[in-house]
A = this chain, B = another copy of it.
Amino acid sequence: MTTNEVVASYKHYVKKIMDFNESIALAEWDLRTGAPKKGVKQRAEVIGTLSEEVFKRSTSDEMKGYIDALTDPTVQEQLSLITKKMIEKSQKEYDHNVSIPAEEYKAYVILQSEAQSVWQEAKAKSDFSMLQPYLEKIVDYKRHFIEYWGIRHNKYDALLDLYEPGLTVKTIDHIFESLRNGLVPLVEAVVASGNQPKKDFLAQPFPVDRQKELCHHLLREIGYDFNAGRLDETEHPFELTLNPGDVRVTTNYQEHDFISTILGTIHEGGHALYEQHISRELVGTPLCEGTSMGIHESQSLFFENFIGRSRAFWSYHYDELRRDADRHFSSVSLNDFYRAINASHPSFIRTLADELTYPLHIMVRYDLEKALFNSDLQVKDLPGVWNEKMNEYLGITPKNDREGVLQDIHWPGGDFGYFPSYALGYVYAAQFKHAMIKDIPDFDDRLQSGKLHEITHWLSTHIHQYGSLKKPLELLQEATGECPNPNYLLRYLTEKYSEIYHF
């Protein structure tokens, strides 16, 4: 076969895998949006069958043959950039999957699933000791896997690489330390401020059908294409991509907490814009997805915080909101509304945290994960260290493990290395905004006049279109001219919160 023929055959082979992945994604979307409960068990088996097929094909001798043929240096010279990046990703996945003995991986998957059920009960009873033996085994498995992958020192880097390729403890330590040094005193100043915003009016009833209309409207306003997606209702909002022409979002309408609904919808909309704008050239390749968890989160947080929590955005949309809300806000000024949706105070639960305190929640988790894999922290000591760190960073101490170490599903699910991406995404988002302002100096004016097109277009041009063609740091460097730099986020938060809290 000529190189061109091998490439064509490889792409055909990979396209089938992507098709299987799309049908898995559809099955999951359906399960989460309204599949009848009596069909769930059999549906899980369908997902199992398709996943097995994807795994088999990704680790087959045929795949190995393509990888060997197309990583040959003389062949590489003839390949297009897309093909090279495709084969690089296929190889990474292949190596990752074949290095763990199948039996061991299977045992791990079963453990993981058990641990998640146990976690639910442990959380309900606020009893870490129930989860502890499971978590110890999961950490042991992860340590083994890291050895299989061939990493002998700085094990945590191997986990970070799964979610944020190229980011290391060295870089993140530096970013998080700068960020924390600025944030901790800022949070203290907010807590100490005598000018706390009123926010009780946000709990006024807001008819669900009008929330629905408003969410559809706001998604359209930020550029979400309803011909390439749909909005449904679920208990927990999410974004799920079938292909760039079918990127779905969900939200949860809450009559007495409409602002969470709206900001949650905009957040998922930010994820969705990323996926809707990926170049159609990448469809059917493993590059047709956001390049990392962190870059993905940068897009959702950009829309949620820098747009959805901005004064400029609401100066355009506040009148609409007032109409939809049965005039409950007729006596609430735009400024009071803006201050209310940005009210900040240290709290225990990460998913309910405000934009100022949120990164500190992530740092607590990062420190613990790093110590588990790179130092000698024991699983049994997690609750104590968690509480100490919460007190150190946020000045509050959880009363129990439910509002402390047991709150997240990530660890029982085996997702160590995932958390840092949330805060990195936030740092990236601020950095993207800083770069964007150079091209769009009238950023605020555009928000104030409801013209978001240029903003979305900038993100699409510099970020979205590339899918996974560029690695996170490469993308960031090319879009902003810099490595990750936490100062932009810090400056944004400092300016915003000193103004809101008058200090």
Contact = CB atoms under 8 A, between A and B. Distances in A.
Interface stretch (A38-46, A251-259, A399-407): A38-46
A20 interface: yes
Interface string A453-479: 000000000000000000000000000
Contact of A39 (B34, B37, B50, B243): B243
| Stoichiometry, copies per complex | 2
**Residue among A26, A42, A48 with the highest chain B CB neighbour number at 10 A:** A42
Given A20-B49, A26-B27, A26-B30, A43 B227 contact: no
A278 to B, nearest CB: 12
A242 interface: yes
Contacts of A41: 245
Nearest to A19: B49
A491 interface: no
Contacts of A16: 49
Contacts of A332: none
Interface string A12-33: 0001100110110011001000
B225 A39 contact: no
Size bracket of the A interface: 35 or more
A46 to B, nearest CB: 4
Contacts of A38: 225, 227-228, 245-246
A48 B19 CA distance: 9
A226 B39 CA distance: 11
Contacts of A26: 23, 26-27, 30
Nearest to A52: B16
B36 A22 contact: no
A323 to B, nearest CB: 23
A192 interface: no
**Residue among A20, A38, A48, A227 with the highest chain B CB neighbour number at 10 A:** A38
Contact of A43 (B43, B49, B243): B243
Contacts of A228: 36, 38-39
A109 interface: no
A85 to B, nearest CB: 20
Given A36-B226, A229-B36, A45 B19 contact: yes
A35 interface: yes
A262 B42 CA distance: 31
A19 B22 CA distance: 15
Nearest to A29: B30
A227 B40 CA distance: 10
Nearest to A276: B38
A23 B19 contact: no
Given A30-B26, A245-B41, A19 B36 contact: no
Contacts of A37: 227, 245
Contact of A27 (B23, B53, B227, B229): B23
Contacts of A45: 15, 19, 284
- Enumerate the 9 nearest inter-chain pairs by beta-carbon distance, A residue then B residue, closest first: A39-B246, A38-B245, A39-B245, A19-B49, A38-B228, A42-B243, A19-B46, A23-B23, A22-B46
13 contacts: A15-B45, A20-B49, A22-B46, A23-B23, A23-B27, A26-B26, A36-B228, A36-B230, A37-B227, A38-B225, A39-B242, A39-B245, A43-B242
